[in-house]
Structure 1
Amino acid sequence: MRRIRTPLPVTLVAALVIGLTSMMPAPQARAITTPEIIASSLSTECLDYEVIGICVWLRCSSFGCTVRTSIRVKHYIPELVVSSYENTGDNPWTEIAMLSPPLGDALGGGSSDVRVAHEHVNTRFKNTDAIGHPGGAFYDFISNFGWSCDSPAVPFKPYFLSTLDALAWRSGIPEMAYPEALIPGRREMGTLGDLWSPIYPRSGFVSQTHDYKTAATTAQRAADIVTRRGQPHVYSPLVPRGGDNSGRWPPDPVMEGDASTHKWQRLEPDKTMSCSIFPDGGENNLLRDPGDYAWTLWRPYRCCKKRGKKLLFFTGG
């Protein structure tokens, strides 16, 4: 028998319904495999490769100094596979599911359709994992030739597992008291007239009737956590280093609705070879039972091959 043991900031009735849902036998989940995920990382549309300028380096030795140049490029790199799924232990990425078994307070999942005045309505919960993308190794390899950038993301490394972050992910503590969670209009995902959900508190619970929007919201929240340091969650930060003299200009932390910080590629269900930010149109026809989803998080980099100790100047945006 599966059950939830967690101090939830929702109604007692909603919590009981979610617990009862988690005890019911779950339908067979769809799954995506590692070879399929690697193949999806070859999307030229998501890569969005462009030569944007040159870098000019000063290289000195005991025989004097010379000036050398290298091309400056920009493109996106697949860094994380972010899965958002219904029942604990049922990550749709087949080879990774074993990393998130039911553990301690991280038991069960499901949703509630309870309607009580002045209380949460249609509360849904998603487990969420962010794992290093296996296709990133290819981009690291070709970066050695000076025509592309690399990423610090380590393939298959678990950067965020919601089962290990059970207190914050299942209670919203302490972020339920943050200004972003209390002030309407701050850190909202969606568009005017079609707001999906607030980003804060960054937990697995979303008051939302649409399952795809719920899953996308929790995926966005996980990416928001992982790409920053010092967050009140159990995770491994993915924060690349860079700077002008390194010849490497990494992206800013993920921000909802901002393509200059990230893009999403849907992997499951109905894998695509294109990328976009949320809202991405998937909400129009992608409702699945069980509600298990996965996306690739692509992030933009600018770089040039280092050919000296000092970067004199560079061109391009």
Structure 2
Amino acid sequence: MISRRLRFAVATALLSAGSSTFALNTATVVSSTLSPSCLEYRVVGICYWLFCTMYGCQVRTSTKVRHYVPDAVVSSYSNTGESPWIETRPMSQPNATAQAGGDGTTNVSHENNQAKFKNADVIGHPGGYVFGQFASASGYSCVGAGTAFAPYLLSTLDTLAWRHNVPEAVYPEALIPGQREIGSRSTLNLWGNVYPRGGFLHQVDDYKAAAVAAQRAGDVVTRRGQLHVYQPLLANARDGYWPAGELIESDAGTGKWQQLTPQLSNNCTVFPHAGDLPQAQQGDYAWALWRPYSCCQRRGQTFLGSVDF
């Protein structure tokens, strides 16, 4: 009990550190993994293994667990080359096909017919070791799909799709109203549409615009075979290991978001969400994308199956 309270106190202190800063650094990103709320560790079932020796075979069991893993940091920002995560800025500098940025509006409410633009970067979360130690304190832990600092999507290299919506603009989800939307029209809380998965959208609230762009980037990297310049952020299933699949908007069972800047949060949520929506002075935002994994410890040569509670 004492050690658990100590871990919680340390996590709270680290999460509080840097919460008032606007620029995001790697130390803050790493410390953000110490979040019991985002981890959401659960024992969900039992796995069965066949263990054989020269003297015979027996069935062994192991506990099946489920928890979330911080796979990536998703940055969504207005000015090209000015990612809020300082150490990764060199990855996404302006180039011949991706210049400038910013909005076509001054955020005046009657100008909501003008477009906003957000760059987006999806980069592997660097907190793997710290998170692994933190998660293993609860028991056996699963590994995620992300590799630290690996670029899974940089919108400056995905110019055709991200800046020109080619071929995103002709997908059915982009042409049919009500398809793949973040929020609800009926409750007057529509943040935006997932398609076309590019950097332009119409939204007077800058936080909501950035969140929609982040969701779009996450949607791309958690699927294979998309017509974008990217690397899939997916792991392959194997015996005793069930990785996260495709990210679906507003569905925490596929992934959830931890705000890193402009205010650091120790909780995870999905878009849309209630509460304070902090506005970044430079239009730059970042979230950690946590996704659910299930696994169990190997106890034999042959996996016989699992039973969930």
TM-score (norm. length: structure 1)? 0.84
* CA distance in structure 1 between the aligned counterparts of 2:138 and 2:176, rounded to whole angstroms: 48
Matches of residues 236-255 of structure 1 in structure 2 within 5 Å?
236-243=231-238, 246-255=239-248
Aligned to 2:195: 200
Report the Cα distance in structure 1 between the residues aligned to 2:228 and 2:277, rounded to whole angstroms: 33
Question: Aligned AA for 1:312?
Answer: L
User: After superposition, what is the alpha-carbon deviation per residue over 1:256-293, rounded to whole angstroms, capped at 9, x for unaligned?
Assistant: 011100000000011000000011236x4412221100
| 1:305 matched to 2:297 | yes
Counterpart in the other structure of 1:272: 265
**Are 1:146 and 1:305, in contact at CA under 8 Å, matched by a contact in 2?**
no
Residue pair 2:33, 2:131 contacting (<8 A) in 1 also: no
Mapped to 1, the partners of 2:300 and 2:264 lie a distance apart of 42
Q: Mapping of 1:14-53 within 5 angstroms?
A: 30-53=22-45
What is the CA–CA distance in structure 2 between the aligned matches of 1:205 and 1:83, rounded to whole Å? 15
CA distance in 2, matches of 1:98, 1:160: 14
Answering whether residue 169 of structure 2 is matched by residue 176 of structure 1, we say: yes
Q: For residues 69 and 198 of structure 1, what CA distance do their matches in structure 2 show?
A: 45
Deviations 1:128-174 (A, max 9, x none): 00000011234456669971111121011010100010111000010
Residue number in structure 2 paired with 1:80:
72
Partner of 2:181: 188
C-alpha displacement at 1:227, in angstroms?
A: 0.4
- Aligned match of 1:13: none
Q: How many residues align?
A: 283
Between 168-177 and 143-152, the greater mean CA deviation after superposition: 143-152
Provide the rounded CA distance (Å) in 1 between the counterparts of 2:231 and 2:54. Answer: 43
| Structure 1 residue 241, shift from structure 2 partner | 1.2
Q: Are 1:228 and 2:223 counterparts?
A: yes
Query: Which stretch shows the higher mean deviation, 145-154 or 302-311?
Result: 145-154
Residues 81-139 of structure 1, C-alpha deviations (whole Å, 9 max, x = no match): 0000111110110111111111111100011139xxxx982200011000000112344
Equivalent residue in structure 1 for 2:127, among 123, 135, 138:
135
Q: Which digits, 9 at most, give the CA deviation of each residue in 1:187-227, with x for residues without a partner?
A: 00113421111111100001111111110000000000000
- Whether the aligned pair in 1 keeps the contact of 2:34 and 2:131 (CA below 8 Å) is no
The match for 2:46 is: 54
Q: Distance in 2 between matches of 1:130 and 1:185?
A: 26
In the TM superposition, what are the counterparts of 1:277-296 in structure 2 within 5 Å? 277-281=270-274, 284-296=276-288
2:48 match: secondary structure: strand
Matching residue of 1:24: none
Q: Which moved more, 1:177-186 or 1:65-74?
A: 65-74
Identity across aligned pairs (percent)?
50
The alignment status of 1:156 with 2:149, answered yes or no, reads yes
Q: Residue 8 of structure 1 aligns with which residue?
A: none
- Give the deviation of 1:306 after TM superposition: 1.5
SS in 2 for 1:312: strand
CA RMSD of aligned residues (A): 2.2
Cα distance in structure 1, aligned partners of 2:112 and 2:166 = 17
Aligned to 1:109: 101
Query: 1:186 corresponds to which letter in structure 2?
Result: Q
Structure-2 separation of matches of 1:137 and 1:253: 25
